[in-house]
Amino acid sequence: MSHKPLNREPYQQAYYPPSPTRFTRYMRTSLIWQAFRFLVINVKMLRLMAKSHH
């Protein structure tokens, strides 16, 4: 006999934070999108380094 939950316990620790949608999770491992993000992250970090050395 299957026990499908009829209700969900609210007000728990895991109830409040945002959860990534299926699309967001897909994009996190999409090779083409992540290759682009890799370049973006590199540029952001290089800008940060340029501003940090005096």
Query: Where does this chain bind other proteins (CB under 8 A)?
Result: 13-14, 16-20, 27-31, 33-35, 37-38, 41-42, 44-49, 51-54
- Please state the closest distance from residue 10 (CB atom) to other proteins, in A: 14
- Please state the closest distance from residue 7 (CB atom) to other proteins, in A: 19
DSSP letter (8 states) at residue 17: S
- Please state the closest distance from residue 4 (CB atom) to other proteins, in A: 19
CA 14 to chain centre: 16
> Distance between CA atoms of 24 and 34, rounded to whole angstroms?
12
